[in-house]
Amino acid sequence: MKIFELVAVIVLIASLILFNWGCNASDPPQSSNSPVLDFQPNILWLVAEDLSPYIPSFGDSTITTPTLSRLAAEGVRYTRVFSPSGVCAPSRAAIATGMYPSGIGANHMRTGPWYTTKISKEALENSRKHMPPNTFPYEAVPPSEVVMHSEHLRRAGYYTSNNSKEDYQFRKSLTAWDESGPKAHWRNRKPGQPFFAIFNFGVTHESRIWAKSADSLWVDENLDVTVPPYLPDTPVGRKDIRRMYSNIKEMDAQIGRVLAELESDGLLDSTIIFWYSDHGGPLPRQKRLLYDSGLQVPMIVRFPGQWQAGQVDSQLVSFIDFKSTILSLAGLQPPDYLDGRAFLGRYAAASDRQYIHGAADRFDECYDNIRAVRDHRFKYLRNYQYNQSYYLPLSYREQMPIMQELLRLRDSGKLTDAQALWFRTQKPPEELYDTVTDPHELHNLASEPAYQKKLLELRQECDRWLKEIGDQPLLPEAQLIEQFWPSGKQPVTDAPTLLWEARTLTLSANAGAAIGYQILADGAASLTDHWKVYTGPFDIPEGKTVSIVAHRLGYQPSDTLFIPVH
């Protein structure tokens, strides 16, 4: 046995002994699908963009990915993980809140320029130009009790950092992160402080297909690639698919550099590492759609001590489960209001999911309203705008050569039957697919007698889910905005109330708002974005000034209060 393997075994055995020694009758039951840890682990998320399971660890041997293959060998591969949306901003809303985007009004892509920390008037005006009539940039407004995933961990003592994409359909709460930006890193925390760190990798994004077209490839220029039947198997099509694989290899190298930093810091076996992508693939008829090519993502989780190394977990997992799961892994009980459920950790659900759910609505300037339910094998789609094509003429996507090639073939009458399905002028009201025998979801079974029982089951599940989350698929977006921002005006968070006892300050806020504060040395010194999250009464040294703000998601922050202490 190699020395590093022996050390890993010793660490795992020690963890098991210490944990069992410390358990008592009040501890919640441990799931058999959860590692047993006696410490509060670090949690690292490595997030690729726009990527289906196109890597060797998930059955695609077109290229090699050394970093991810090592991570899979030392971790667990989750083979049935799904985003509730085929596009990024609603997906991140689901991850950050633990709630379905279509249940909290975060389902339209995008609601505004909330993907950047500093929002200029120019960015707002540009977003307005790309939104449909009677709408304007707005923030989704989750229920008042909802705070972002990172804030729960901050309150529990974690150092939270995001490097660096913010894309939640609302502006981040001021207290969400210890730091969020291109320099954010776990290395900036206090010594010994547990961390929750996210690193985003944009090289696999849809736009990189055309933006990097002149760059040298990380793969052979004649690499043999498999072309899905709904895409053109032509020189143009194969070139873009090679670019996709090249970008994946580049992402693999970038992941390797972050993991090397973790290992050099001696943190590999005190950290739970998640690698996944934010939704399905970047190519046409993948991104934005509710087929598995748009929703299904690869995920690898590596645990301290390499728990269940090399194993495969085929349970159904939704992005709405991620928030509950990281809280559970940190030993924190997930809030009751969440739509999701933990699949790992102390508070892991006792049984696996039976279904996952998805939604598609506005994408940039075009509307389509679709809902999806999937079990382990069958996919049900409900089309609300069935008198229009699946294909939406999005100017952003049409910058991609393979998309231009599809349109050329369409206009010249040369599409294959599989390719032509996407360009039908009408969609059926319902679709049903066997994802085992028909993984590309090309053969609709909804009208076949042998599948009526399954069709009814998934139709009823769709009805139940829509009612449970309060989804209104045909609610005009202008009316949704009016519900959030009456008369077009964004609501403002109420200022927190203050209670002084000597130099101890107690704060409270209305409507579930989070409170942030800073203690300033020189009066009202210039403020930074690094607000401390208020968790309880604190003392203020004499001669200092405390600045205080309250912020509810989707609202404007309150006015900042400056309180000098003499």
What is the residue-wise DSSP string for 90-104?
A: HHHHHHHHSS-HHHH
State in Å, rounded, how far the first CA of the chain is from the last one.
65
Per DSSP, helices labelled H in 412-507 are 417-420, 452-469, 477-484
- Virtual torsion, Cα 216, 285, 463, 341, nearest 10 deg: -10
Q: Which residues contact 120 (CB under 8 A, 6 or more apart)?
A: none
Counting Cα atoms < 13 Å in the Cβ hemisphere of 361 gives 25
Beta-bridge partners for 275: 46, 300
**Inter-residue contact 460 to 430 (CB < 8 Å):** no
Query: Which residue is it, tokens 């402080």?
Result: 193
Please give the structure tokens belonging to residue 382: 């409900």
Instruction: Report the run of H or E that residue 311 belongs to, with start and end.
Output: strand 311-313
One of 23, 88, 366, 462 is an active-site residue; which one? 88
Give 56: exposed, middle or buried? Use CB within 10 Å, 0-12, 13-18, 19+.
Answer: middle
| Nearest-angstrom CA–CA distance, 493 and 508 | 12
Q: Which of 163, 286, 155 is nearest to 228 (CA)?
A: 286
Q: Yes or no: say if 196 and 184 are a contact pair by the CB < 8 Å rule.
A: no
561, 539 contact by CB (below 8 A) = no
Is residue 462 part of the annotated active site? The answer reads no
Which residues face 433 on adjacent strands? Answer: 379
Beta-sheet strands, E only, within 57-204: 76-82, 159-163, 179-180, 195-201
Q: How far, CA to CA in Å, does 68 sit from each of 27, 52, 299?
A: 35, 14, 10
Q: SS3 for 119? A: coil
Distance of CA 256 to the CA centre of its chain: 21
Angle (CA) 257-261-248 rounded to 5° is 20
| Residue 212 backbone phi and psi in degrees, to 5 | -105, 15
Q: Which DSSP category does 203 fall into?
A: G
In three state form, how does the secondary structure of 230-277 look? Answer: CCCCCHHHHHHHHHHHHHHHHHHHHHHHHHHHHHHCCCHHHEEEEEEE
Q: Is 533 helix (H, G, I), strand (E, B) or coil?
A: strand
Neighbours of 351 (CB within 10 A): 9
DSSP 27-59: SPPPPTTS---SS--EEEEEEESS--S-SGGGT
Which residues are marked as active site? 88
